[in-house]
Amino acid sequence: MSVKNFYPEKPILKYFNQSVEMGVIIANIKSLDLPIEVKRSLYVIIRNETGNGKSIVCGTNVSGVQADSGRWPSVWDDTIEGVCIKNENMTGKERAFIVFKTIADGLNFTAAQIQRKGVFIGEKVDGKYYKGDVKTPEDLAVCYYNEWVMGNSEMPPEQFIKDFFSMYNQSVKLFV
């Protein structure tokens, strides 16, 4: 393995791509004890990160959580089954990814990161790339793009915002 693995005590597992029906993901999100706006962000982010549930890392990592950029807080150690190696979609670089024990673990981890970064409506964000109130779905799309997708302060393409807005509107109907 040529990439750094910050979880050497965990087994290296074979990468596979798994599709999970959005209905299963939605039911799992609904069962979580989270604020509504966090559930809505979680839904949109998972749809965006997994191609509507069609591309989930080893069936449990719904947001591309990596194992090669440092250790996550120890509270997550017991939820991590292992590590897999695959080429990152955006860059093509070989990366190490977390494999969670269950999809619920992957959802809970992603929801915690959404809350930590403030990537939900109603939050004031003082992130590395996005600074300001997240009041509208458009604000949320920009915050997510800056803090999660790209790691920069550039404005997302207009189509990205339109797609995000459409998914967010669907989330409003699902999570009330």
Residue ranges and CATH numbers for the domains of the chain are 17-174 (1.10.530)
> What does the pLDDT read at residue 88?
85
**Six-digit token pair at 108?**
């809970």
Does residue 163 have a pLDDT over 90? yes
| Mean pLDDT on 95-115 | 97
3-class DSSP state for residue 125?
strand
pTM recorded for the entire structure = 0.94
| Mean pLDDT on 65-71 | 96
| Mean pLDDT on 108-130 | 97
> What does the pLDDT read at residue 2?
82
DSSP 82: E
Does residue 89 have a pLDDT over 90? no
> What does the pLDDT read at residue 73?
97
Confidence at 91, pLDDT banded by 50, 70, 90: confident
| Mean pLDDT on 53-82 | 97
Confidence at 1, pLDDT banded by 50, 70, 90: low
Bridge-partner residues for 85, per DSSP? 96
User: What Cα–Cα distance (Å) separates residue 73 from each residue in 26, 77, 82, 114, 146?
Assistant: 26, 8, 16, 15, 23
| Mean pLDDT on 43-70 | 96
C-beta of residue 33 within 8 angstroms of C-beta of residue 48: no
